[in-house]
Structure 1
């Protein structure tokens, strides 16, 4: 580990440069070390927004499973309306947990929870539901425009040679604002992490920033397909896509799953994309997504009390 860090320091000194103005990267953003674990599953709510059923995929440590068993049934959601009436609704669920080392063991909290499809089958089911119930919406909120965004050309960025030589892996969460024609209007690095590496924070932050700049530069050349009745009238939030960019040398480079595995992250702050309302801008975090996940639009599943995020289990 120390040799990796020393190599990273030497290479960053040679290759490092201050972030350019307007490139969607904040060179002053400081990171922190955190252990994270993802739990994938499914959740069903009743017409009143109470959790009626949930399940998780794969096996979990019994202590973690017990914590979730106590916490998840108490969550409350804004009811989902179908044809104007509250309905039973089911959604894929991904919970991200974070662990903080204490004097005696670890303190585990809910780092975030998102309700977007994660597999091709879930994407197909979500699209079928949208077609069957075009007026499905969150109670108390105006319906969002029907828009679907698909990837068209997404050439991945080149792994920075200096980072590859140092054996440093990472992930960058990009927020992209699209033009109605599917080209990228703005590319903003919302958050980034270096994976499974420890060392001096100022060195690791420079590594994160290098990956953020690399990913944002590549994304400006990407193209998407925007499917909507009138794409020219869509608001910036409806034309926003969140894309994780992974830099991996190990099993994750072959598309492996992170679900159920603790990993060490040196993670930067979650910064809001400037064109989004504050309440929407930071709902998704870098620890929540894997390569090939593309999040567009919004999920009808919405916690009525978001104080569960950050709460110890």
Structure 2
């Protein structure tokens, strides 16, 4: 069967906007991304929501994040004002009325500059019905967020080389949003999961296998920074909001 080219697209799962619809089934987990500014004492002084969420979910998440204490980056060994990207994965437990929110994973680090990411091209030679291929790309970027090197991480999932090439070529064109300490950008290494998914006219596009990064608490669709400047001081995993 010839794939439906309107749906046979490379899916950038890490930047997909997630919105819980009132008239739809509540998803098991929701990933969201936030831009956070920290004072030198680790308290949150500014918070910007990057992922679209309904207010019923966004508001309690924002309140929780503002109550957390972080370890900011340092300059010459002294804590300094730090800007970081917060990746938050929460589980949603259905109840008689609404749902309960549970923190599954929290990470800090560099982000991806919105509008800079071009979707990888789905390899034509691999374009078949119900195809799903996960590639994790490791990229190094400089203090301005420009990618200086990128490669596919081996051993994540066995896929055709064309998927690796398409994912790496795309990430090399991206611009990252580095953490800033004392107003200065911080070069970093980040791993980015990319899901290629193709559907036929008679079926939905399949999802990729979940990816749990080393040291992670849950499967993630977001970027993972190797050694973030900012870190969360309090343990919030499994906490109900």
Task: Provide the TM-score with structure 1 as the length reference.
Answer: 0.44
By percentage of residues, which structure has more strand?
A: 2
Give SS of 1:287's match: coil
Correspondent of 1:242 among 183, 186, 191: 191
* Structure 1 residue 215 displacement after superposition: 6.1
Deviations 1:26-48 (A, max 9, x none): xxxxxxxx633333332111112
Correspondent of 1:308 among 233, 236, 241: 236
Give SS of 2:227's match: coil
* Structure 1 residue 182 displacement after superposition: 6.0
Aligned to 1:145: none
Answer yes or no: is the 8 Å Cα contact 1:175–1:240 preserved in 2: no
* Structure 1 residue 98 displacement after superposition: 2.6
Answer yes or no: is the 8 Å Cα contact 1:41–1:94 preserved in 2: yes
Counterparts of residues 144-155 of structure 1 (less than 5 Å): none
Report the RMSD for the aligned CA atoms in angstroms.
4.4
Correspondent of 1:172 among 129, 134, 137: 134
Deviations 1:209-246 (A, max 9, x none): xxx32267843895898xxxxxxxxxxxx996523222
Structure 2 unaligned segments of length 5 or more: list them. Answer: 1-26, 141-147, 173-186, 200-205
Q: Sort the Cα spacing of 1:171 and 1:101 in 2 relative to 1 into closer, same or farther, 3 A.
A: farther
Give SS of 1:286's match: coil
Give SS of 1:299's match: coil
* Structure 1 residue 304 displacement after superposition: 1.7
Cα separation, 1, equivalents of 2:47 and 2:163: 39
By percentage of residues, which structure has more helix?
A: 1
Aligned pairs, how many?
A: 182
Bigger Rg over Cα: 1
State yes or no: 1:187 paired with 2:181.
Answer: no
Cα separation, 2, equivalents of 1:239 and 1:88: 18
* Structure 1 residue 270 displacement after superposition: 2.0
